[in-house]
Amino acid sequence: MQTGQSNGTLGIMMDQLKRRFFQGLMNGPFSMTVECPDDADYQGPGPDPELEPDQRAQRIVDALSLDEVISCLGGYKSMAFPAIPKAGLPSIWFTDATSGPRIFGPCTSMPSPLNLAASWNPALAGNYGRTVGEETRTRGAYVILGPGVNIYRNPTGGRNFEYMGEDPLLAGILAEEYIKAAQKAGAICTIKHFAANNSDYDRHRASSDVDPRTLREIYLPAFERAVRRAKVGSVMTAYNPVNGIFASAHRELITEILREEWGFDGFVMSDWLSLYDTAGPVQAGLDLEMPKADWFSRERILQALEAGEIREEQLRTMVCRVLTVFFRMGAYDNPVIPREPIPIGDPDHREAALAIALEGIVLLKNGDSTAIATPASGVDDSPAGPQTTPRELPPLPLTPPEDRTMRIMLAGPFQEKFPRGGGGSCLVRSPAHTQVFASELAKDLGSGAEILSWDHQRSFMKELGPEDTVIFLGGFDEDRQSEAYDRDWQLPKDQLLVLGKLMNRRASQGFKLGVVLFTGGGVETRSWLHQVDWLVWAGYPGQEGPEALSRLLSRRDTFSGKLPFTMISRWDDLPSNHYYVDNPGSIALRRVFLDQGKVTKRQPWSMPYKEGQMVGYRAFAGWNTSAGSEPLPLDAADATPAFPFGFGLSYTTVELGDVQIKQRPDVDNPDEDRWDAQVTLTNTGDLPGKPTLQLYLEDPESSLPRPARSLLAFKKITLPALGSRTVPLSWSLRDLAFYWPEKAAWVAEAGVYRIHGGFSSGETRLVGEIHLDETRLWSYKEGKPEARE
C-alpha cells in the first residue's frame, strides 16, 4: 500500500538536509542576483510600418551568417535571449515570475497560483497578470516564465502550488485572463510546462505515459486555451518524457498539436537544462535552449548539420520565430526601461496581492458547519462530500467576549512568520514580506484579545479555557514544498507531535483549537480532523497573507475561497495514487541533478496514467456508463473525500433557486449553438457573501465512457445580506464534446445532457437538461476547426 510518507527519523533528517542543499543551489545562479543591463542609451531600430513583425524578423535572419544564427539558439547569462550585434538588437531578459518577477531585485510577493485558483475569480487573475507584467517590465525584463497550468494529479506533487488546480477549465480560464493582462502590460508570457508535467519525482526520467484521450481532455485544454484565446507569446516544454519521448523533442506535441492544430505562432523554449540531444528538439520544433546552448552549442549543431540530421533552414526558422514575437510585442522598438522601477509598496500592486489572498484562503471546517449552502430544492445528487447542518454557534469568527479578555495562543512553525512560498524557481524576495500575524490579529481584535506564543509563553497554556483559542499554523516551507522533488502527504512528524499535545490539552481544558495549513495542496487530515474545531487552508498567501488571514478570522472580511483540488481522506482513494511511487517525499540528489551527457543516466521509466480521466473530483463522481468492451479504469465512486473540489465555507448561507436554460446561435460560430443559464441565488444569512456557483455536465449516454461530472461553467458573485441575484452563465456546443481518438476528433453526440448546479462538486442537484438533435465532430487542420457530421 502506498502511504505517501517517508519513513524513519534519520531518513527524514537526511531528506531535509538534501532539500536545503538543493534550495541553496536553486537560489544561486538562477535566482535574483543578475545585474540589470544598461540599455538607457539604446534607441532601437524603430518601428517599420511597411513590414509585419515576421517580415522584419526574416529580413534580419536572412542577413545573419550561420555562426550568428547558431549564437541565437541558446540563452545568455542564464536568463536572456542573446543580443544580435550585427542587427543592433539588445539582449531580451527573462524572469521567473510564479509569485512575482524575481530578477533584478525584490518585487511584490504574490500569493501562489494555487491560491489564485482557490479564488475562482477571473478578474483577480487579470490583476495578478497585470501586476506581474508591470513589475517585469519596469525591472528590465520582457519575458515572464509563466503561468503554469499543469494539472494537479497527486496531492504530493512538488510544483502543485505553482499551478491552478485539478480542473482544466478552471485553470484555462484563469490563465487566459492572466496572460491577456500581463501581455497588455507589455510583457511576454510563457505557458508551461508543456506537457503532462504533473510530478517532480525523478522529473528528468519519469515518463508520463498517458493515453491520447486523457491527454486531450485533461492535460492539454488549459494550454490550448492560452494559445487560442489569450495568444500567449511563448511555450516552455517540460522536463519529463511523454509516452517515452522527452517533451523538448516531442514533435507530436510541439509541431502537430501546438502549431498545426492550435495555430500557435510564438516560440518554444526548453525548461532549464532539459535538452537531451541535438537533432530531436530541432526536428520537433523547439526554438530555444535554456539557460544556455549546450546541446545547441556550435560544435554540436555543426556535427548534426554535417551528419544530415538537421538543416540550416530549420535553424533560421527557429531564430525567426523568436524574433517575430519580440517585434510583435515591441521588445526591440521600446527597449529603454525606466530607471526607477515601480516601488515595492505600490498601492495598486499591494491591493492586488491582498485581494487575491483574501479570496484564495479557504475555510474547510467551522465547528459542525461543513457546508456553505444547500441546493434548496430537488433531490441532492452529490456523488460525495461532507454535508451536515450547523448545530451550534461556530468557533469562527474569533469574537472576544464582553466580560473578559480572550486569549489566543499561536503555535506551530509559522506562528511568527508565514512561509514565503514554495521553493525553487518561484521563491521571491520582498521587503514587504515583514507582516507579523500576531500583530495583525491584535490590531483586528482590539483590546478584547491577548495574543500569546506557544514558543515563548507556553506557561499560560494551563490557564486557557472554553472562551480561548489555540491556532496551530503548520504545513510545508520552501525546503519541503518545492520543484525538483515531491513531498510527503502527511504533515511533518514534529508538527504532528505538537498538534497531538494540543489536542490532548483541548480535550481536558475545553479551549477551541484551530489549524491553518500552509501547503501546496492536500494533506492527510483524517487522523486529527475530528479533534480540531476549525480548519483553514491558506496555501502560500504571499506578502499580504498575515493581514488577509487576520481579516478573515476576525470577520473583517468573509471567507469566499473554494478548493481548486480535491482533498482526499485516504491515500488509496485517489486512483492516480495507485500508479504513483511509494514514497514520493523521499529525495535523492541523483534524481534532481542528472548528467545530461550520459545516456545511461537519462533512460526514461514509466509512470503510468492508467486512471485515465478519473482525475480529482471526476474519480469520486465515477463513470457515466460502462460502454465498450474494455474494463474501465479505477474510480473512487464508493469513497468520500475529506473535502471535495470547489468546496469552501463562509460566514453566511446561500440557496440555489430557479434555473432557466435557453439555446441560441453562437455569435462567433454561426453554424453552432450556445446555451445561456440564468440562475437565482439568495443569501439567507445576515452577512454579505461571495458564493461561487458551479455547473457540472453529465452525459448519461455516450459511445465512450465519460466521467459522470465535469465542470461546465462557474461564476463568482457578491451577494448582500438577505439579497438575491440572477447569475448568468454560458457554454458552447464544443463544451459538450469528448475526444474520440479513433476519429481524431472532438465529438458532441446527439441526445440529452444533464446540467447539475451547486457550490462544490460534492454538493449539487439536477437543474436542467439540454437536447442535441445531431452529432457534431470537430477536427483541426492548420489551426482552423473543421466541423463535420
Cβ atoms 238, 274 nearer than 8 A = yes
Residue 402 and residue 477 share a domain: yes
Residue 777 and residue 663 share a domain: yes
Question: Is 549's pLDDT higher than 60?
Answer: yes
Residue 740 and residue 640 share a domain: yes
Beta bridge partners of 783: none
> What average pLDDT does this structure show over 362-368?
96
pLDDT given at position 631: 77
Residue 641 and residue 760 share a domain: yes
Query: What's the grid cell of residue 88?
Result: 543592433
Residue 546 and residue 607 share a domain: no
In order, the DSSP letters of 431-462 are: TTTT--HHHHHHHHHGGGEEEEETTT-GGGGG
Query: What's the grid cell of residue 257?
Result: 498539436
Note whether residue 13 is domain-resident. Answer: no
Note whether residue 36 is domain-resident. Answer: no
Helix (H, G, I), strand (E, B) or coil at 129: helix
pLDDT given at position 626: 64
pLDDT given at position 44: 56
Residue 496 and residue 440 share a domain: yes
Residue 548 and residue 611 share a domain: no
Q: Give every CB contact of residue 597 below 8 A, 6+ residues apart in sequence.
A: none
Question: Is 5's pLDDT higher than 90?
Answer: no
Note whether residue 43 is domain-resident. Answer: no
Residue 339 to residue 321: CA distance in whole angstroms:
30
pLDDT given at position 17: 63
Q: Give every CB contact of residue 50 below 8 A, 6+ residues apart in sequence.
A: none
- Whole-number Cα distances in Å, 346 to 108, 131, 134, 352, 428: 9, 10, 11, 10, 17
In order, the DSSP letters of 658-710 are: EEEEEEEE-SSSTTSEEEEEEEEEEE-SSS-B--EEEEEEE-SS-SS--BS-E
Q: Which residue has the higher pLDDT, 370 or 781?
A: 781
Residue 309 and residue 170 share a domain: yes
Residue 144 to residue 38: CA distance in whole angstroms:
20
Note whether residue 336 is domain-resident. Answer: no
Residue 215 to residue 256: CA distance in whole angstroms:
14
Residue 608 and residue 544 share a domain: no
Question: Is 194's pLDDT higher than 70?
Answer: yes
Could you report the per-residue pLDDT of 617-665, keeping only the tens digit for each? 999 999 997 665 567 888 889 999 999 999 999 999 999 999 999 999 9
Note whether residue 364 is domain-resident. Answer: no
pLDDT given at position 392: 67
Residue 685 and residue 767 share a domain: yes
Question: Is 714's pLDDT higher than 70?
Answer: yes
Q: Which residue has the cell 491584535?
A: 442
Note whether residue 383 is domain-resident. Answer: no
Last residue of a domain, one of 305, 328, 351: 328
Last residue of a domain, one of 531, 553, 575: 553
> What average pLDDT does this structure show over 228-256?
98
pTM exceeds 0.85, yes or no: yes
Could you report the per-residue pLDDT of 715-747, keeping only the tens digit for each? 999 999 999 999 999 999 999 999 999 999 999
Query: What's the grid cell of residue 77?
Result: 547569462
Question: Is 569's pLDDT higher than 90?
Answer: yes
Query: What's the grid cell of residue 535?
Result: 480548519
Cβ atoms 12, 496 nearer than 8 A = no
Residue 45 binned pLDDT confidence (cut-offs 50, 70, 90): low
Cβ atoms 352, 359 nearer than 8 A = no
pLDDT given at position 556: 97
- Whole-number Cα distances in Å, 673 to 169, 580, 667, 771: 19, 41, 9, 11
Residue 454 to residue 385: CA distance in whole angstroms:
34
Question: Is 312's pLDDT higher than 70?
Answer: yes
- The CATH number assigned to the domain holding 666 equals 2.60.40.10
Last residue of a domain, one of 553, 569, 599: 553
Output phi, psi for 214, to 5 deg. -65, -40
Question: Is 34's pLDDT higher than 50?
Answer: no
Residue 622 and residue 683 share a domain: yes
**Distance spanning both ends of the chain, measured CA to CA:** 47
Residue 371 gets which letter from DSSP? -
Q: How many Cβ atoms from other residues are within 10 Å of residue 308's Cβ? A: 8
Residue 325 to residue 233: CA distance in whole angstroms:
6
Residue 599 binned pLDDT confidence (cut-offs 50, 70, 90): low
Give how many domains the chain has, as a whole number: 3
Question: Is 139's pLDDT higher than 90?
Answer: no
> What average pLDDT does this structure show over 297-309?
98
User: Residue 643's domain spans which residues?
Assistant: 587-789
319, amino acid identity: V
Cβ atoms 171, 583 nearer than 8 A = no
Q: Which residue has the higher pLDDT, 298 or 597?
A: 298
Query: What's the grid cell of residue 339?
Result: 530607471
Note whether residue 3 is domain-resident. Answer: no
- The CATH number assigned to the domain holding 449 equals 3.40.50.1700
Query: What's the grid cell of residue 272?
Result: 532549464
Least confident interval from 76-80, 457-461, 666-670, 748-752 = 666-670
Note whether residue 46 is domain-resident. Answer: no
Residue 509 to residue 288: CA distance in whole angstroms:
62
In order, the DSSP letters of 569-631 are: SSGGGSGGGGGS-S-TT---HHHHS--TT-GGG---EEEE-TTTT--THHHHH-BS---SSSP
- The CATH number assigned to the domain holding 271 equals 3.20.20.300
Residue 262 and residue 407 share a domain: no
Could you report the per-residue pLDDT of 487-501, keeping only the tens digit for each? 999 999 999 999 999
